[in-house]
Amino acid sequence: MEIKDVAMKYVLLFLPGKSLIKFWEVSNEWNHWFVSPLVAYQQGISFNKLSGNFYQIVDVDFQSDPNLLSLDNCANGVPYPSLGLFPKRIKVLSSRSGMLLCKWVAPMKNNHSKG
């Protein structure tokens, strides 16, 4: 299974309809997929309430993992609120219309020398 298939089947259906429209022009295959009645039904029954907000504590000496502050646990739909499913630490750079822009974060090195 290719990444585009995973995105179509497991990710895009959880986006708001307004955001899905932006993906129609990705390819003819995606366009045909979006206009199918089954996709409209599946997207309509997915989580359509505001789940919450992601927050992250960023300081000079400390950076926490991003976490979801849930507003409605029934509408949540996020299996790992701390985004702990990623193999490396991430930093949330931006979000819009239900999508997160993330960046891999390299582990901090301890530059203190013992003397």
* CB contact at 8 A, 108 and 60: no
Instruction: Look at residue 84 and tell me if it is in a domain.
Output: yes
Is a pLDDT exceeding 80 seen at residue 2? yes
Q: Which of 100, 98, 83, 101 is nearest to 48 (CA)?
A: 98
Q: What is the pLDDT of residue 51?
A: 63
Q: Could you tell me which residue, 97 or 2, shows the higher pLDDT? A: 2
Instruction: Mark whether 76 and 99 lie in a shared domain.
Output: yes
Instruction: Look at residue 13 and tell me if it is in a domain.
Output: yes
Here the tokens at position 47 are 């989580």
Instruction: Look at residue 57 and tell me if it is in a domain.
Output: yes
Convert the pLDDT of each residue in 24-44 to its tens digit. 777 788 778 877 888 777 777
The parent domain of residue 93 ranges over: 52-104
d(CA 72, CA 63): 26
pTM (2 d.p.): 0.38
Q: Is the dihedral of CA 6, 7, 8, 13 positive or negative?
A: positive
3: three-class secondary structure by DSSP:
helix
Convert the pLDDT of each residue in 4-20 to its tens digit. 788 777 777 777 666 77
Q: What is the pLDDT of residue 100?
A: 76
Instruction: Look at residue 114 and tell me if it is in a domain.
Output: no
Is a pLDDT exceeding 70 seen at residue 79? no
